[in-house]
Amino acid sequence: MHFSDPSAVPRRRVFDRDAVLAAAEVFVRQFAGENPDAGDPARRIAQITAEVHRTGTYEHTPAELAFGARVAWRNSARCIGRLYWNNLTVRDLRQVEHPDDVAEHCFEHLRLATNGGRIRPVISVFAPDRPGRPGPMLLAEQLVRYADDPRSAERVELAKELGWKGGETPFEVLPLLVQPGSRRPPEFYEVPEDAVLEVPLTHPRHPGFAGLDLRWYAVPAVSDMALEIGGVVYPAAPFNGWYMGTEIGSRNLGDADRYDRLPAVAELFGLDTSSERTLWRDRALVELNLAVLHSYEQAGVTIADHHTESTRFLAHIAREDRRGRPVPTDWSWIVPPLSGSATAVFHRYYDPPDPDLRPAFIHREPAPPPVCPHVRA
């Protein structure tokens, strides 16, 4: 197998002290500008300069880490749910590096974020990259993914190469794959049942919908991006908000290259699929999305609909505008994949995404295949 995931092994970063210092100064001045009690930024910059010259990097204070993580969410051009960026719960786990400990804290992240169904935005920040000592990484798009999801195919194969015996039943949760900071092979960990809240899908008007045996999980915890703050990179920093219904109904379950359930929904509702002009796909999408929203509400699990979330996003833009801050936005990601032109976010322009804006969640750079004796290059 050729495992091409960019997070397959730790990045061998070249630490450019001047670049780290330049990024640190920009961040410290931003931190001081938005936190009047932070004190004179010049003093903090001098401390960081001495530390970088001594070690090649520096350590954020807890307050800097929390601020940086929250601003990274605020800067996320593809996220429609940024109104609550300042309410992100930040778990400072920078001393955690061993795969066993990383996995256990990831499971605790899921429990904390689930909160009995009242989903809390949470980020868990593990050890950063340091000169000659890369931090650990998570080899998954999200902390929870299903093995029968076509997007999971390569990770399922890697997990089996590592010794996992599962993946034979529908909606089976993939094990968590943790890549140590060293060149050792990844480790896999079964996700405990009490860490994953799942919602069986039913429909408010069609009892037969339950017979489709669809479900989805409660917490969308993204785990394949690094967090960069002031020149320091945290390669493992899983974070979550809550789902917008269309992410599940239109994309995860509806896309042809994912679960492709629109034909089954159309058949259940007796829709005419003989021609695209009957708009059977559109009608099936509405019913599937309605089932998602209904099921999560019935289960007491936080979820947003795309119309409400669109209005909230414009409120976020207005609030940020009053503070003189731009809101970088990728229109193609902000406009929902269902009834886009009927939502408030469709009919306007936005500040373009800025790839150099920091703090930020960044996609990790491509790397060679993992060092695993069972994986063929």
- Has residue 173 got a pLDDT over 80? yes
- Has residue 84 got a pLDDT over 60? yes
- Has residue 237 got a pLDDT over 90? yes
If you write DSSP's letter for every residue of 317-370 in order, what string do you get?
Answer: HHHHHHTT---B--HHHHS-SSSGGGSTTSSS--BPP-TT-SSEEEEPPP-PPP
Residue among 82, 145, 358, 364 flagged as catalytic: 82
Percent of the chain with pLDDT over 90: 90
Cβ-proximal residues to 107 (8 Å cutoff; 6+ apart), any chain: 176, 191, 192, 195
82 catalytic residue (yes or no): yes
End-to-end CA distance of the chain: 6
Residue among 73, 164, 242, 280 flagged as catalytic: 242
Q: What is the pLDDT of residue 3?
A: 30
* Mean pLDDT confidence for 109-132: 97
Other Cβ atoms less than 10 A from the Cβ of 43: the count is 11
What is the DSSP code (8-state) at residue 209? G
- Has residue 373 got a pLDDT over 90? no
- Has residue 372 got a pLDDT over 70? no
247 catalytic residue (yes or no): yes
Residue among 187, 228, 247, 309 flagged as catalytic: 247
Confidence band for 13, pLDDT divided at 50, 70 and 90: low
Across all residues in the chain, what is the average pLDDT?
A: 93
d(CA 105, CA 82) in angstroms, rounded, equals 25
d(CA 223, CA 219) in angstroms, rounded, equals 12
* Mean pLDDT confidence for 231-255: 98
Residue type, 266: A
Q: Which domains does the chain have, with CATH numbers?
A: 17-220+227-335 (3.90.340.10)
The reported pTM is: 0.93
Percent of the chain with pLDDT over 70: 93
242 catalytic residue (yes or no): yes
Q: Which two tokens stand for residue 189?
A: 């960990």
* Mean pLDDT confidence for 45-51: 98
* Mean pLDDT confidence for 85-92: 98
Lowest average pLDDT, out of 9-13, 57-61, 182-186, goes to 9-13
Q: What is the pLDDT of residues 245-300, one digit of tens each?
A: 999 999 999 999 999 999 999 999 999 999 999 999 999 999 999 999 999 999 99
Confidence band for 232, pLDDT divided at 50, 70 and 90: very high
Q: Say if CB 121 and CB 196 are below 8 A apart.
A: no
Q: CA triplet 156, 159, 165: central angle to 5 degrees?
A: 90
d(CA 236, CA 185) in angstroms, rounded, equals 16
Q: Where are the beta strands (DSSP E) in 18-121?
A: 89-92
Residue among 74, 79, 145, 261 flagged as catalytic: 79
Q: What is the pLDDT of residue 365?
A: 59
